[in-house]
Amino acid sequence: MNDMSEQTIALVTGANKGIGYEIAAGLGALGWSVGVGARSEEQREAAVVRLRAAGADAFGVPLDVTDDASVAAAARLVEERAGRLDVLVNNAGITGGMPQEPTRVDPATARAAVETNVIGVIRVTNAMLPLLRRSASPRIVNMSSSVGSLTRQSDKDDPLKAGPISGAYAPSKTFLNAVTVQYAKELRDTNILINLGCPGYCATDLNGHRGVRTPEQGAAIAIRLATLPDDGPTGGFFEDDGVVPW
């Protein structure tokens, strides 16, 4: 254990590909030690090799956010390696499968989206909190989406501007937003800053690569929220252009 290390220690969930990989790359480029949280050993190790080849101090963290034992083991791994955690990026997410109009959605689809996108974040955050509390400037970044904005979803002029009709994925991000506000409320007297980021519509496996931004562009907001100064915001919802309305 090396809890005296000056090097910032981060963990990114779902970092084997897409936006999560680019978040890990961006944090690695800052000279941070970055845990690549991923459930597939093959994909995790491939990501670690790529990140190391780019100069990042990356290490693999076996992690399925829906599995208690996996998450507990991930916390033990980070503790044994670094003794603490400075930054947690809860990036792992799923849509749950399509179609998902509310009148047709399979309850299993809605349950899966909530299990990963909300309960998974709670499970990982609470497992990592003891390690985050040992940091001088802990940060938690929850990757949400502007599709979780009720203000944008209920825009009377253009409700489809905030994405397709969704009875599972979009509401799961609204739920995540609500949970994050409650974390910020409970943690308001600590030095932990917890915020939500929206990456914009990025071309990844999540949307069949229909997004118009690159995963690297999507990672930028997470990197900004991961590197907030001590007097930075908490309990907020941000995209590149500023605050996202609830």
Ligand X SMILES: NC(=O)c1ccc[n+]([C@@H]2O[C@H](COP(=O)([O-])OP(=O)(O)OC[C@H]3O[C@@H](n4cnc5c(N)ncnc54)[C@H](OP(=O)(O)O)[C@@H]3O)[C@@H](O)[C@H]2O)c1
Contact predicate 74/63, CB 8 Å? yes
Nearest partner of 54 among 28, 27, 20, judged by Cα:
28
183 is catalytic: no
Cβ distance to ligand X smaller for residue 8 or 142: 142
Cβ distance to ligand X smaller for residue 188 or 209: 209
Contact predicate 195/180, CB 8 Å? yes
Of 17, 169, 185, 201, the active-site residue reads 169
* Size of site (CB under 6 A) for ligand X: 33
Report the residue from 61, 74, 127, 143 that binds ligand X according to the rule CB under 6 A.
Answer: 143
Decide if residue 18 touches ligand X (CB under 6 A): yes
CA 105 to chain centre: 25
173 is catalytic: yes
Report the residue from 33, 211, 226, 238 that binds ligand X according to the rule CB under 6 A.
Answer: 211
Decide if residue 207 touches ligand X (CB under 6 A): yes
Q: In the 3-class helix/strand/coil scheme, how is 157-219 assigned residue by residue?
A: CCHHHHCCCCCCHHHHHHHHHHHHHHHHHHCCCCCCEEEEECCCCECCHHHCCCCCECHHHHH
Decide if residue 219 touches ligand X (CB under 6 A): no
Based on C-alpha coordinates, what's the Rg of the chain? 17
Cβ distance to ligand X smaller for residue 26 or 215: 215
Contact predicate 20/13, CB 8 Å? yes
Report the residue from 63, 110, 128, 225 that binds ligand X according to the rule CB under 6 A.
Answer: 63
Contact predicate 109/94, CB 8 Å? no
Decide if residue 128 touches ligand X (CB under 6 A): no
Nearest partner of 176 among 13, 44, 8, 10, judged by Cα:
13
Min separation Cβ 241 and ligand X, Å: 14
State phi, psi for 234 to the nearest 5 degrees. -140, 150
Min separation Cβ 46 and ligand X, Å: 11
Listed ranges 57-65, 104-112, 223-231, 237-245: which one lies at the site for ligand X (CB under 6 A): 57-65
**Active-site positions?**
169, 173
Q: Residues interacting with ligand X, by CB under 6 A?
A: 13-14, 16-20, 38-40, 43, 63-66, 91-94, 116, 120, 143, 145, 198-199, 201-202, 204-207, 211, 215
